[in-house]
Amino acid sequence: MSVADIKKSVDQKMQRSIEAFKADLAKIRTGRAHTGLLDHIQVDYYGSNVPISQVANMTLVDARTIGVQPWEKKMVAVIEKAIRESDLGLNPATQGDLIRVPMPALTEERRRELTKVVKSEGETAKVAVRNLRRDANDQLKKSVKDKEISEDDERRASEEVQKLTDKFVAEIDKLVQTKESEIMTV
């Protein structure tokens, strides 16, 4: 594997780590409602578990309310039960065939807990990026050992991998900072 291949591979993997981190952040709720909060909730649909988004249309009714409109009338009770029993602590209310899911206001204590969760997720993402750096450096050392590249090339490539790592860690820090400010804004 050439130096360019190793750098390209580690860059792509680090980018995927950032995307996964962004997806994890989207699941952490702020004071506002967004339909992504319900994405991970599964409902029983004719014997198989599927995400709510595959059996209903989700919209924002207002800044603090999500509207869930099932495509089949018989799914209303199933979806309402799944939302109520989820780990989100939400209390949906049914009006005809529309399920309204109000988002309760976050308390100061809950906001602080959520910022700790965000920091923890950020640290996990940083560890993933650093593990990718370590793997890339191991590949570079193996290439030197197999006499595919020179030690100077390995040193230069290691520095470039470190710069990539620093760039992605800074991006993670920025994302954590942004999410924390979103959470703490009343």
* pLDDT single digits (tens) 11-57: 999 999 999 888 888 777 666 677 777 777 888 888 888 888 888 88
Instruction: Name residue 49's amino acid.
Output: N
φ, ψ dihedrals at 125, nearest 5°? -65, -40
User: CB count, 10 Å around CB of 46?
Assistant: 8
In the structure encoding, which two tokens stand for residue 6, read together? 């190793």
Structural domains in the chain, sorted by start: 3-27+107-184 (1.10.132.20), 35-102 (3.30.1360.40)
Instruction: Compute how many other C-beta atoms are within 10 angstroms of the C-beta atom of residue 110.
Output: 14
How far apart (Å, rounded) are the C-alpha atoms in residues 123 and 167?
15
What pTM was computed for the model? Answer: 0.69
Question: Over the stretch 58-105, which tens digit does the pLDDT of each residue have?
Answer: 888 887 888 989 988 888 888 888 888 876 777 888 888 888 888 877
Residue 177 has pLDDT above 90, yes or no: yes
The structure tokens 């204590």 sit at 109
Q: Show the beta-strand stretches assigned E in the chain.
A: 42-45, 48-51, 56-62, 65-70, 93-95, 98-102
pLDDT at 58: 87
**Contacting residues for 52 by C-beta, under 8 A, at least 6 apart:** 38, 39, 41, 42, 43, 58, 68, 79, 82, 83
